[in-house]
Amino acid sequence: MTHFTTEEWIDFANGLVAIRKRKEMDRHLEEGCSRCKKALSLWQKVRQTAKSAADYEPPEHVVRIAKAGFMGAQVEQKPSRMHRYPSGGQFMKYKNALNLFAGILLAAVALSAAPSVHAQQCSLAGVAGKWGYTYTGTIILPSPTGAVPVAAVGRFTLDADGNLSGTQTRSNGGASAQETITAKVTMNADCTGSGNFNVYQSGLLVRSAVLALVFDDDSRELRAIFESLTLVNGPSPQSLPVVITVNAKKISGLEESN
């Protein structure tokens, strides 16, 4: 029995053969050729796997691994004028190589999909822990004072309910002070969030602030910017323009510190 080549079955599985030849190949399958049925089934599975992975773009290093694995496993096919199907041993080598390639392809899909899935898992429980931070920037005071540089270094504890408490040493135009802070933090699935902060000196509330937050590095790092700052220790609340950014890193999780 004359068999069709691997290349022809690849074209068949992808719908690329002419109508006349497709009929010939259909007849060949109807005659009960088990080898060709297995070859077609294999390439249909590979095509379906590739189709299901079409929306993914594996990282470049994963693609290199897949190519290297496939090139190392593939078997060279000798040209045949008779278009004879490979021998049983050759067919098994082809099958093993293609199974390896399909496995690598699925691994590449899993690896490329993992970051996207992980990016949707940010939560207060995930960022809860003990943190250290610094902030730097500028406060714009009323004329004639104008812009004043500010900075702080401190640490805080954030729990899984979004409750934050901590202490900091703050420098305002060169004048330093010890302060305590509290906040209520909210978190979105995309790792962004916000916090409403209160700052105290000697137990008295002196100012409040609203910060926009972004957690990254697998919830081990925090970046933030002040959206507003209000002085509340005067006769009436006073909002001030500010440009202040925050960088924080997780020291430990709550479980680790207990």
Instruction: Round to whole Å and give the CA distance between 64 and 58.
Output: 10
Task: Tell me the average pLDDT of the chain.
Answer: 82
**Cis previous bond, 144, omega within 30:** yes
Task: Name the residue type at position 247.
Answer: N
- Coil, helix or strand for 89? helix
Backbone angles phi, psi at 77, to 5 degrees: -100, 130
Unique residue bearing structure tokens 């809860």: 128
Q: Is the pLDDT of residue 134 over 50?
A: yes
CB 126 within 8 A of CB 158: no
Do β-strands 242-252 and 146-158 pair in parallel, antiparallel, or remain unpaired? Answer: unpaired
Grade residue 119 by pLDDT with cuts at 50, 70 and 90. very low
Instruction: Round to whole Å and give the CA distance between 99 and 163.
Output: 52
Which CATH number does the domain 124-257 belong to among 2.40.160, 1.10.10, 3.30.519, 2.60.40?
A: 2.40.160
Q: Is the pLDDT of residue 69 over 90?
A: no
> H or E stretch including 174?
none
**From the centroid of its chain, how far is CA 14?**
33
CB 143 within 8 A of CB 87: no
Q: What's the maximum distance between 2 C-alpha atoms anywhere in the chain?
A: 100
The pTM for the full model equals 0.55
Instruction: Retrieve residue 171's tokens.
Output: 């420098």
Grade residue 159 by pLDDT with cuts at 50, 70 and 90. very high
- pLDDT tens track for 70-113: 565 554 444 444 444 455 555 555 555 565 565 666 655 555 54
- Coil, helix or strand for 84? coil
| Domain spans of the chain, in order of start | 6-119, 124-257
CB 154 within 8 A of CB 181: yes
Q: Which of 19-33, 46-60, 227-241 shows the lowest per-residue confidence on average (mean pLDDT)?
A: 46-60
Half-sphere exposure of 71 (CA within 13 A, CB side): 6
More confident residue, 32 or 163: 163
